Amino acid sequence: MSEHHPDGACCAPASDRTQPRLSLPIVTTGTAAHSATASHSIGQKDVPGGTFVMGDSYGDGREADGECVVHEVTLDAFTIDETSVTNDDFAKFIAATGHRTEAEVFGDSAVFHLAVQAERKDIIGQPPAVPWWLGVAGADWAHPNGPLSSLDGIGDHPVTHVSWNDAMAYCAWAGRRLPTEAEWERASRGSLVGARYPWGDELMANDGAWQCNIWQGQFPRVNTQEDGWLTTAPVRTYAPNDLGLWQTVGNVWEWCSDWYDEGYYNASPAINPTGPDSGESRVLRGGSYLCHDSYCNRYRNAARSQNTPDSSMGNAGFRTVAL
Ligand SMILES: [Ca+2]
Ligand SMILES: [Ca+2]
């Protein structure tokens, strides 16, 4: 796994290809209904331009993740998907283009061990450092738990096993782009300044309900599924933030356009930052159904992760922004 991120593999499995691959007052428009391109039909929300406070205001993050320094960032207005791209959405792209995802080209992808649906012969790797990720031959976006799985009943779940390069290919087809890391965090925060989560600072709702799809129980063996889901949930589960965006935090990690650099905030531009000029891995944001505070407290607005642009796994997808 990455030298930047020695304990982050619950979030993003090993990216070494030699291994199994395994603020401002905010105006909430609320009713914004930009028509996306004909090929991309996800509902849209406007994010007003202005200045917001980026980074971890609570000291929750691991130092190596580079969530600090807290700094002001000014962004132009943009328009973003209400949800991450679903399996049904991605299927339209595949049908129209014949694109082969990198998981299909490489022949395998990383599946969480409790979710695997595959014959033993198709389990081709189990990295000692992250044994809960299995390299599964035949796992791909259309077979998210392995070759014995399908998309039946999960068309409205986020697409997974898509690499950053696959997400970029989707964007090129749809006339879209990935959000910058700053745009992603700004959108996830909604109108709340410096909050831990898209809905506030407390993980649980007042009535004790879960507000995002993460892990309950003992990672990585026992998931009590108090939030209802072992792996992905439909993209419109729980409640949207006050910009109308669903599940930025939890469910699946979401690719951003930036290269990752843990020290980036120390020198990033104050206006419309687009990330380092180069790097080895791309930014992932928001955490996933595998996050648990015993191991991966990254289901927060400020949390950062990363993986190489050709990596795919069962807990990462993406959402897009209008050009
Ligand atoms: Ca869950
Ligand atoms: Ca998410």
User: For the residues of 25-86, what is the DSSP string, one character each?
Assistant: -------------TT----EEEE--EEEEES-SSS-S-GGG---S-EEEEE--EEEESSPPB
The residue segments making up the domain with residue 52 are 1-323
Cα(38) to ligand 2 centroid in Å equals 24
From 70, 52, 50, select the one nearest 60 (Cα to Cα): 70
pLDDT at residue 13 in the model: 57
What distance in Å separates the CA atoms of residue 18 and residue 24, rounded to the nearest whole number?
A: 46
Per-residue pLDDT of the chain (323 residues; tens, 9 = 90+): 333 333 344 555 545 444 434 434 333 344 444 556 779 999 999 999 999 999 999 999 999 999 999 999 999 999 999 999 999 999 999 999 999 999 999 999 999 999 999 999 999 999 899 999 999 999 999 999 999 999 999 999 999 999 999 999 999 999 999 999 999 999 999 999 999 999 999 999 999 999 999 999 999 999 999 999 999 999 999 999 999 999 999 999 999 999 999 999 999 999 999 999 999 999 999 999 999 988 889 999 999 999 999 999 999 999 999 99
Ligand 2 centroid distance, CA of 164 (Å): 15
pLDDT at 9: 43
Q: What is the pLDDT of residue 23?
A: 39
CA of 312 to the centre of ligand 1 (A): 20
CA of 95 to the centre of ligand 1 (A): 31
Q: Which ligand is nearest to the CA of 188?
A: 2
User: 310 CA to middle of ligand 1, Å?
Assistant: 26
Q: What is the pLDDT of residue 2?
A: 35
Closest ligand by atom to 250 CA:
2
Residues facing residue 137 across a β-bridge: 108
Ligand at minimal distance from the CA of 212 is: 1
- 176-177 sheet: strands from edge to edge: 44-47, 78-81, 321-322, 176-177
Residues 6 or more apart from 280 whose CB is under 8 A from it?
A: 259, 260, 308
pLDDT, residue 290, reads: 97
- Per-residue tokens: 105: 């080209």
Say how many Å lie between the CA of residue 204 and the centre of ligand 1.
14
Kindly state the helix (H) or strand (E) to which residue 109 belongs, with its residue range: strand 108-112
- Expressed in angstroms and rounded, the spacing between residue 237 Cα and the centre of ligand 1 is 11
Pairing mode, strands 133-137 and 123-125:
antiparallel
Please tell me the number of the ligand nearest to residue 315's CA.
2
Instruction: Give the number of domains in the chain.
Output: 1
CATH code for position 184? 3.90.1580.10
Write the single-letter amino acid at 246. Answer: W
Alpha carbon distance 247, 234 (integer Å): 10
The residue type at 270:
A
User: Nearest bound ligand to CA 233?
Assistant: 1
Does the pTM exceed 0.85?
Answer: yes
Residue 254 alpha carbon to ligand 2 centre in Å: 6
The bound ligand whose nearest atom lies closest to the alpha carbon of 252 is 2
> What pLDDT is attached to residue 170?
98
- pLDDT for the residue 10: 53
Give dist(CA 322, CA 76) in Å, integer. Answer: 12
